[in-house]
Amino acid sequence: MSMAASSRLRALSKPTPAAIGAAIVLLLAALAVLAPYISPYDSESMDFNAVLSPPSLAHLFGTDNFGRDVLTRALFGLRVSLIAAIGSVAAAMVVGVPLGLLAGYRRGFVDAVIMRPVDVIMAFPAIVLVVALAGVFRQSLGLMTLAIGFVYFPIIVRVMRGAAIEVSDALFVEGARARGASRVRIMARHVLPNAITPVLVQASALMGVAILMEAAISFIGLGVQPPTPSLGLMLSDGRSYMGDAPWLVICPGLGILVAVLGFNLMGDGLPRLLDAANRRRK
Amino acid sequence: MTSTVRRLLLLLPTLFGVSIVVFLLLRLIPGDPAQVIMGLRATPEGLAAITRDLGLDLPLHEQYVRWLGALFSGDFGRDYRSNVPVTQLLATRLPVTLELTLLSLLLALIVAVPLGVRAAVHPNGIADKAASVLGLIGISIPDFWLGILLVLVFSLTLGMFPSSGFVPFSDGIFANLRAFALPALTLATGLSAVLVRVTRSAVTEVLSRDFVRFLKAKGLPPRAIINRHVLRNASVPIITVIGMQFGYLLGGAVIVEQVFDLPGVGSLIVTATMERNYPVVQAGMLVVALLFILVNLGTDLLYAWLNPRLRGGAR
């Protein structure tokens, strides 16, 4: 065994930040999917004998001002967070990847037609645009998810375009061109697979950003509406009671933090992971 | 100089696009502005009169031209509720947001740059570990949650700072800064995280260059090498990131103003959106986008000035 290989093996056996991130993401995803089966209470059932009760064995994270179990609501809120994150990033990728690929491969006029509107969207801070769109999506989770995707697709376009430009000059692309492969085939079979890594890294980071965005919009009252549990909404409701019941703001915030942290850790380590996978394939 | 002019000219299509987005957004939102203005007192005749007054019966492109023309003469329309000119609202709101963002920027610079430098100079030292933790937690923590936690600790428990509200500058600089302390700290955390990462990697990169080895060999004290030579060379990426992150600060201000009940442009946009107060939403978005574009332009220019190789023109 070469020295490089043995050091790589050692690196693999030690949990990398990326592995920890992936583990967090998987765990949270499992919790969110299984929420209806594993949560100790019903997310909307109220118990007026246990209003604002502190964390105990019966209620691990305490109860809120309606006597609802905070842990249960946080698990259901996590579902909303993940739906918004996966939905919006998927939407941003579906629109952004082809546009960025086209702009980066064709350059010139096509590039300008695609990139000028993208520049315009990026001239607004993301949250300002989502807030303004809130009037359009009117508190529907689906539409809000699309609005978040709309605000972030320019980032995907830019990263995809940059990577496509770099790959388009490679010899194997020229070779395909010389062989007379069609433009679509070159873009899909040769440019895309070799340019997608930075886009996936960006997408992983965007998942975290999208979770923050959903929570923020719901927090200021323009997103998910009660009684649907959203971590952001739980925070804004809990604020009024936090002097007496700090667990109301600690638990949901911690949930958001851990979820975003998971995606960020995973994104940081993704390039090396994908690189290793590529090498193994070859 | 020609490159500066070219950059300014390139702004025009973006500004044009921004104006179209802001204008069209109002048309996308369901609901009739005339209905919003009249509220429960609405009568068919009244609605028709207001629709005519606002020019809402005109074709879309004519409405756009009218609106843009009014903007150029400084007329941003009137608040649907209070009938106050929107420019007047912005004049009172903008300084609050600017103070919040500038204080946060200052705070982030004071903390993140020295920490990033120390982390780069002593890899794996305490500063480096602190920098990694700040870099990771800072970008992952929701700013509104951090704000709430700070209130919980520093105002509800320790009573050191007010939990919310704004104190104008005219009431004394100390009271004003005290009111801004927690909001600015909240907003600065995310920026510090990004800044500490960039500073660390920029300084690490410069430290590996040959000229640093030469200066060391020459016997220059490390402190002088860092302050006089390394920092200047590392400043370009740091400044670029600050420019790019300014949009984040403006966006973050929307949330932080909401948490701390500060009367800035961000909370103005949020309240106006809830009330369907369209002229206010439009004006707020325009101002924020304009600020963002100008800061990016300034960053570009500063970047070119710091890095002469990027200056266009004669060679």
Task: Give the CA-trace dihedral at B131, B134, B136, B137, to 10 degrees.
Answer: 160
CA-CA distance, A235 to B246, in Å (whole number)?
A: 26
pLDDT of B274 > 60? The answer is yes
CA-CA distance, B34 to B242, in Å (whole number)?
A: 42
CA-CA distance, A250 to A61, in Å (whole number)?
A: 9
The candidate with the shortest Cα–Cα distance to B28, out of A66, A133, A8, is A133
Q: At what angle do helices B278-306 and B86-121 cross, to 10 degrees?
A: 40
Confidence of residue B106 (pLDDT cuts 50, 70, 90): very high
A131 neighbourhood in chain B, CB within 8 Å? 254, 269-270, 273
Task: Provide mean pLDDT across the span B243-254.
Answer: 85
φ, ψ (nearest 5 deg) of residue A90: -60, -45
A174 or A54, which is more confident: A174
* Amino acid present at B259: V
For residue A44, what is the DSSP state?
T
The least confident of B41-50, B148-157, B292-301 is: B41-50
B137 neighbourhood in chain A, CB within 8 Å? 257, 261
The model's pLDDT over B6-30, given as tens digits with 9 standing for 90+, comes to: 778 878 888 888 998 888 887 777 6
CATH of domain B93-314: 1.10.3720.10
Element (H, E) at B95: helix B86-121
CA-CA distance, A14 to B165, in Å (whole number)?
A: 49
pLDDT of residue A14: 66
Task: Provide mean pLDDT across the span B293-299.
Answer: 85
Give the C-alpha distances (Å, rounded to integers) separating A259 from A74, A235, B16, B130, B243: 12, 16, 39, 21, 28
CA-CA distance, B95 to B38, in Å (whole number)?
A: 31
A216 neighbourhood in chain B, CB within 8 Å? 142-144, 255
B254 has a chain A CB within 8 A of its CB: yes
DSSP-based helix, strand, coil % in chain A, nearest 5: 75, 0, 25
Interfacial B residues in 117-136 facing A (CB < 8 Å): 136
Beta-carbon contacts of B262 under 8 Å, excluding residues fewer than 6 positions away, are: B96, B100, B164, B165, B166, B183, B256
ipTM: 0.84
Each domain of chain B, given as residue ranges in start order, spans 14-72, 93-314
Closest-CA residue in chain B for A234? Answer: B145
Which pTM does this prediction carry?
0.86
Query: What SS3 state is found at A49?
Result: coil
Confidence of residue A7 (pLDDT cuts 50, 70, 90): low
